[in-house]
Amino acid sequence: MDYMIIGSGCTAAMAAETLCGSGKQVLMIDAGLEKGIITRPEEDFISKRLHNQEQSRFFLGDELEALGEATHPNIPQQTAQRTFMSALTERFLPIGSSNFFPVESLALGGLGNGWGLGSYAFSTAELEKCKLPVQPMKAAYGTIAQRIGISGEQEDDASGYCHGELFSTQPSINLNPSAADLYGRYRKRSKGFIEKGISMGRPSLALLTEQLNDREAYGYKDLDFYANEGNSAYRPYITIKKLVDKGVLNYQSGWLAISFSEKEEVVTVECLNIGTLEKKCFHARKLVLCAGTLGSSRMVMRSMQGREKLPILCNAYTYMPMAYLPFLGRQHTGQLCGLAQLAMFYDIHKDHSDVAMASVYNYRSLLNFRILKQMPLNHADGRKFLQLLVPSLFIAGIFHPAGYQPQNHIQLKPSASPTGDSLFTNYTYTDQEEALIKHTEKTYAAAFFKLRCLVLKKMRTATGGSIHYAGSLPFSDTEKPYHISPEGKLYGTRHVHVADGSGFSYLPGKGLTLSLMAYAHLTATKILADG
C-alpha cells in the first residue's frame, strides 16, 4: 500500500479524496461502526406526527434509545438514529476526568454523522493564530466547498465571517417563519448592532439547495436529526462510499489502530479488532492520522511510549434558549428546517481576530419531551406551556474562542481498558477567560433582547460540550517531540502525517470543521508532492 489513513471522519474523507485522485493505492483503517442512514424519508415531520402509527419507534428508537442513558451527556439532542455515532467509545476510548467530557466517535463518518453542517472559513487573523498557512488554506476552502457543496448568502452582514468570499455558495435554505421575522427585525436595526461589533446573517451550511452530482437538494422534511434526505447534507460516508464504489479506496472497518512503528521505508500500524479483540498489523509507505484530535494523540502517545502531558484546546459553549415574543403561541405546523437558521457574530475587536459566534436554531423536530426533561415544571402544565413556547423558541449556541492554557492537558495512563490505557484530561478556564465568556454571554443576551428575544436561561455545557477539539500536537517550525511540521509531518518520524486538528494552535469561536477538511486536503496534497 502507498498510503494508509486512520479514520473515516470529515478529515479522513477529504484526505482520502485527494490521495485517491492520484491513482496511488490507499488503505483506510477505521473502527467503522455503521447504521443504515435513511435517505428517502416517506413523509415530513408533521405528516409523520399526525398519521404514522409507527412513529414512536422512529422518534424514540426500537430500544427507546432517545430516553435511555445511552446517549452521551454532552449531546442531549442525540436521536436513536445517531446513537451509533458515539457507541463503544466508553469501552475503547475511555476518559478519566472530573472536568472534561469530550464526545468522540468510532463510526464510519465519525462525528460528521451528526455535525450541524455549519461551514465557516477562518479569517486571516484566525488562520495566523492557528499557525495555519494563510494562502494555501484560502485556496483549499474553495476546493472543499466545491466537493461538499455549501449553501449560504454571498453578501450579507455575516458573510465576511462565514466565508469571506473565498468560495461561492448555493442559495441559502428558506428561513422558518419565526427566523425570517427575527432576521427582518435585525436588518431594520443592523447599523446599531454593527457599531457594537455584532453582525447577523445566514449561516453557511454544507447542505445542498441545488442538486450536486447524485446528491439532491434539501426538501424541507424537517427530519434533519433522523435522516439525510437525498444525501443533501454533507456527511463523510458519502465520500467514503463513493471512493469505495469507484474501487480506488480499500476500506477496512472494525479495526482500532493502536500504535505505529517505522522500519526502513515501511510504516506498520498495530490494530485491535473491536469485535474479537484479535490483533493485526497493516503496512504502508506513509501513514496519515485522521482519528480526530484526541484519537490521533492517543496513537502518537502510545507509539512514542511517552507519558507526557500534551496541551489541548476546546471551545467553551453556551446554550441560550430564548422565547421570541412575537411568535408566542403562533401556529407551528408548516414545513420547517431544524438546522441553523441564522448566525450572529460578536467581533469584540472588530478585526476578525477574536470572534465568538452564535448559531440560532428553531426547536421542533427533537420533540417536547427533551425540553420537559430539563424544565423545572410539572408535566401537565409543562406540556401546555410548551405549546405556547415552542413556536417562539430559539436556541442560540455560542462558541467562545480558545487559546492554550498551561493547566489544560491530556495524558495517557495505564488502565484495564482493551487498549491498556485511558486518557486523563483536565480543562478549566482562567479568571480572564471566565470573565470574557461572561461578557460575551451578556453581550449576546442584550443583543437578542433588543430583537425581542427573552433569554430564558444561559447554560454552559460541561467542558468538552462544544465538540470542537484541537491543538494537542501543535505546529512548530522547528523539530520538537509531540509537534508537527507546518506540512503536517509528525516530528521524530519519517512518514507519519497528521491531517486532523491536532496541530491547530488556537480555536476560533466558530465551527472548525471546514478548516479541518481544508487542512486535511492540504496535507494530502503535500504528501503527494513528496512522492
Ligand X SMILES: Cc1cc2nc3c(=O)[nH]c(=O)nc-3n(C[C@H](O)[C@H](O)[C@H](O)COP(=O)(O)OP(=O)(O)OC[C@H]3O[C@@H](n4cnc5c(N)ncnc54)[C@H](O)[C@@H]3O)c2cc1C
Binding site for other proteins (CB under 8 A): 46, 49-53, 55-56, 58-60, 63-64, 66-68, 323, 325, 328-333, 367-369, 372-373, 375-391
Angle between helix axes 513-530 and 134-148 (nearest 10 degrees) is: 110
295 binds, among other proteins, ligand X, none (CB under 5 to 8 A by kind): ligand X
Shortest distance, position 78 Cβ to other proteins, whole Å: 14
Instruction: Report the run of H or E that residue 342 belongs to, with start and end.
Output: strand 342-347
> Using CA atoms, how far apart are residues 503 and 506, in angstroms rounded to an integer?
9
291 binds, among ligand X, other proteins, none (CB under 5 to 8 A by kind): ligand X
Q: And the C-alpha cell for 141?
A: 476552502
331 binds, among ligand X, other proteins, none (CB under 5 to 8 A by kind): other proteins
Interface with ligand X by CB under 6 A: which residues?
A: 6-12, 29-32, 75, 103-107, 110-112, 114-118, 256-257, 290-292, 295, 299, 467-468, 500-501, 511-513, 516
Beta carbon nearer to ligand X, 208 or 389? 208
Neighbours of 384 (CB within 10 A): 10
Beta carbon nearer to other proteins, 322 or 437? 322
290 binds, among other proteins, ligand X, none (CB under 5 to 8 A by kind): ligand X
Shortest distance, position 319 Cβ to ligand X, whole Å: 13
Beta carbon nearer to other proteins, 15 or 455? 455
Residue-wise DSSP of 86-141: GTTHHHHS-EE-SS-------BTTGGGGT---B--PPPHHHHHHHT--HHHHHHHH
- Alpha-carbon distances of 194 from 32, 191, 350, 398, 501, rounded to whole Å: 45, 5, 9, 18, 31
Report helix, strand and coil shares of the chain as percent, to nearest 5: 30, 25, 45
107 binds, among ligand X, other proteins, none (CB under 5 to 8 A by kind): ligand X
30 binds, among ligand X, other proteins, none (CB under 5 to 8 A by kind): ligand X
10 binds, among other proteins, ligand X, none (CB under 5 to 8 A by kind): ligand X
Beta carbon nearer to ligand X, 19 or 257? 257
> Using CA atoms, how far apart are residues 250 and 338, in angstroms rounded to an integer?
35
Shortest distance, position 336 Cβ to other proteins, whole Å: 12
Beta carbon nearer to other proteins, 101 or 491? 101
Beta carbon nearer to other proteins, 281 or 377? 377
Shortest distance, position 334 Cβ to other proteins, whole Å: 11
Shortest distance, position 259 Cβ to ligand X, whole Å: 9
- Alpha-carbon distances of 446 from 321, 453, 455, rounded to whole Å: 14, 9, 9
Beta carbon nearer to ligand X, 321 or 382? 321
3-class SS at 50? helix
Question: By C-alpha distance, which of 525, 479, 530, 443 is closest to 133?
Answer: 525
The per-residue b/e assignment along 488-527, b for 16 or more CB within 10 angstroms, e otherwise, is bbbeebebbbbbbbbbbbbbbbbbbbbbbbbbbbbbbbbb
22 binds, among ligand X, other proteins, none (CB under 5 to 8 A by kind): none
